[in-house]
Amino acid sequence: MSTHPFDKALALQHSDIRAGHFTGATSPDYWNMVGPFGGVTAAIALQSVLLHPDLLGTPIALTVNFAAALEAGPFDVQATPVRTNRSTQHWTVQITQPGTGGGAPNMTTTATVVTAARRQTWGESDLPMPADVPPPEQVERFSIGPSGVAWLDRYEMRPVSGGIPSRWDEDLRHSESRLWLRDAERRPLDFASLAALSDVFYPRVWLRRAKHVPAGTVSITTYFHAGAAQLAEVGADYLLGRAVGQQFFNGFFDQQAHLWSRQGVLLATSNQIVYYKE
C-alpha cells in the first residue's frame, strides 16, 4: 500500500463493494481552514467510482457539491451507477458523517460522475497552452501560506503571474493566475490527483479586489480530456495551471481553470461557483 499522503487520504475500505459502500477518514495532511481541502474531497468522491467493480471506462466529468464541510473523523461514501449505456456510465456519489448523538447521518457532499469507454477518433485542442511561460525550474516556488492550512504543503506551486497579493490594498485588477504545480512529494499523475489539482487555485475574488474576504467553493465541475496513457506520460512532472474569474455578483462568482502537461497537452478544465462575503 502506498505511503504517499494523497493515497492515505484517499484510502477507502468497502463494507459491501458490490453495493458501492465505502468508509474512510479525513486526513490532517490535507486540512484547510474549516475542513479538508475541497480538491481531496472531490478526489475521494471520484475514487469511490474508480474502485467500484461495475466501472465502465474512465472519467470524463466530475461535479462535486459541497453541502457542508467534513468534520475531522470518519465518513461514509456511497457510489451508485444509476445508468449504463454502451459508451457512457452515470454515477451519483454521497458522502456522509455520523449524526450527533446517534441521529441521522449528516450529508456533507453530493457528486455526479460520468465515465466513458473512449474510442479512437479525430481530436484537436482549441485551447493551446500559453506560449510566454518560463519553464518551472526558472520560477520561484511559493512557500508562504496561512497558518493551519496543511494542504498547501502537499503541493509545489511556482506562480508565473497572479500570485496572492502582497498587499491587501483593495486595488482592482485582473483575476488571472498562471502557475506550475505538482505534488510536493512526487507521485505519478492519475485521475484522482488530477481532480484534486483542478481545485488548488485560491479564490479569484482575492486577486480581483486585493481584499482578503471569506470565500469557499460551493460546487466544482471538472472535465477530463485525457486517458490513462496520457496521464502516465506526465508521470510526476509539473502541470501548468491557469485560473481566471468570470463574473462576480451578489455574493457568488465563478472561476475557470485549465491544466496542461509540460508538453502542452490539455489534460483537464474546471469551472466552480464560489461563495464570498463582502
Residue range 161-176: average pLDDT?
92
Range of the domain at 15: 5-116
pLDDT tens digits for range 194-239? 999 999 999 999 999 999 999 999 999 999 999 999 999 999 999 9
Report residue 94's pLDDT band, with 50, 70 and 90 as the boundaries. Answer: very high
**What CATH number is given to the structural domain containing 266?**
2.40.160.210
Domain end point (choices 55, 84, 116): 116
Q: Is there a single domain that holds both residue 152 and residue 269?
A: yes
Q: Is there a single domain that holds both residue 193 and residue 69?
A: no
What's the pTM? 0.95
Q: Is there a single domain that holds both residue 99 and residue 181?
A: no
Considering the domain boundaries, does residue 122 fall inside one?
A: no
Domain end point (choices 84, 116, 148): 116
d(CA 137, CA 166): 22
Angle (CA) 149-218-109 rounded to 5° is: 85
Report residue 147's pLDDT band, with 50, 70 and 90 as the boundaries. Answer: low
Considering the domain boundaries, does residue 30 fall inside one?
A: yes
d(CA 233, CA 94): 32
Q: Is there a single domain that holds both residue 246 and residue 157?
A: yes
User: What is the pLDDT, as a whole number, of residue 33?
Assistant: 85
State the alpha helices, DSSP H only, in the chain: 5-9, 38-50, 191-197, 204-209, 228-234
pLDDT tens digits for range 122-139? 999 999 999 999 999 999
Considering the domain boundaries, does residue 127 fall inside one?
A: no
Q: Is there a single domain that holds both residue 144 and residue 272?
A: yes
Closest to 265 (Cα-Cα) out of 244, 240, 245, 242 = 240
Report residue 31's pLDDT band, with 50, 70 and 90 as the boundaries. Answer: very high
Q: Is the pLDDT of residue 144 over 70?
A: no
Q: Is there a single domain that holds both residue 148 and residue 221?
A: yes
Strand, helix or coil at 109? strand
Considering the domain boundaries, does residue 123 fall inside one?
A: no
Report residue 273's pLDDT band, with 50, 70 and 90 as the boundaries. Answer: very high
Q: Is there a single domain that holds both residue 105 and residue 150?
A: no
Residue of 127 and 144 predicted with greater confidence: 127
**Structural domain count, the chain:** 2
Considering the domain boundaries, does residue 130 fall inside one?
A: no
Q: Is there a single domain that holds both residue 144 and residue 112?
A: no
User: What is the pLDDT, as a whole number, of residue 146?
Assistant: 62
Considering the domain boundaries, does residue 180 fall inside one?
A: yes
Considering the domain boundaries, does residue 126 fall inside one?
A: no
d(CA 243, CA 257): 4
Q: Is there a single domain that holds both residue 147 and residue 93?
A: no
Q: Is there a single domain that holds both residue 106 and residue 144?
A: no
Q: Is the pLDDT of residue 176 over 90?
A: yes
Report residue 145's pLDDT band, with 50, 70 and 90 as the boundaries. Answer: low
Residue of 116 and 104 predicted with greater confidence: 116
User: And the C-alpha cell for 78?
Assistant: 456511497
User: What is the pLDDT, as a whole number, of residue 101?
Assistant: 66
Q: Is there a single domain that holds both residue 105 and residue 206?
A: no
Q: Is there a single domain that holds both residue 101 and residue 211?
A: no
User: And the C-alpha cell for 178?
Assistant: 498562471
